[in-house]
Structure formats: structure tokens, C-alpha cells
Amino acid sequence: MIQAITSEYKKTFWSLIIMAFFLAVLYFILVASSVFNAVTVKEAQSKIANMRSELSVLESKYVAFDNKINRNLAKDLGFHDVLGNTFASSQNSVSRLNN
């Protein structure tokens, strides 16, 4: 009878030890994945900050170029004012509008 009880205690003890081991392994895996995710988020935030600074530089260059464009520059480059507006249309579309 006593040996049956100690046998049950041994089974329970080793079951608890095995469960504790698996839970410890699971805990370390979850902690490692959390750390990995945190590092990944920090890297992504750093890349986003770099891209935003590059974007602001490009936007300032665009505004500088946009401010340089005026009517005189366009004339120097060979563009001229349109005197009369002429639009192309097909006869089919004009006849459909008249009906």
C-alpha cells in the first residue's frame, strides 16, 4: 500500500517536472520572440525616420525648383502663350450632342 502511494507520488513528481521544463522552454521562446519583435519595431521606426527626413529634403528641393519656374523661364525654354484655344472632336460625338 505504501509503495503504491510512493509510486503515485513519483509519477506525479516527474509529470510536474516535465511540465515545468516544457513551460520554462515555452517561456524562453516567448521572451525571445518578444525581444526580437521589439528590436524589429525599433529598426522599422529608425528606417521610417530616415525616410521622412529624406522626404523632407526632396520636398524642399521640389519647392525650390517650383519657385524657379515662371513665365520668363518658360519663354527662354521655347514655350509660348496660347492665343486661341482649339479643341479636336469627332463628328460622331458632335452629332450625338445635337440629338
Please state the rounded mean pLDDT for residues 27-31.
Answer: 98
**What was the pLDDT predicted at 8?**
83
Report which of residues 26 and 77 the model is more confident about. Answer: 26
The rounded distance, in Å, linking the Cα atoms of 44 and 60 is: 24
With a pLDDT cut of 70, the percent of the chain lying above it is 84
Residue reference for cell 525581444:
35
Taking the C-alpha atoms of residue 41 and residue 35, their distance in angstroms, rounded to an integer, is 10
End-to-end C-alpha distance for the chain, whole angstroms: 108
| Confidence at residue 36, expressed as pLDDT on a 0 to 100 scale | 97
Is the pTM for the entire model greater than 0.85?
A: no
Tell me the C-alpha distance between 76 and 59, whole Å. Answer: 26
**Residue 83: predicted pLDDT:** 81
Which has more confidence, 85 or 33?
Answer: 33
Report the chain's mean pLDDT, rounded to a whole number.
88
Domain ranges of the chain: 2-98
3-state secondary structure of 17: helix
Q: Considering the chain, what percentage of its residues have pLDDT values greater than 90?
A: 57
* Half-sphere exposure in the Cβ direction for 29 (13 Å, CA): 6
C-alpha cell at 12: 506525479
For range 50-57, the mean pLDDT = 97
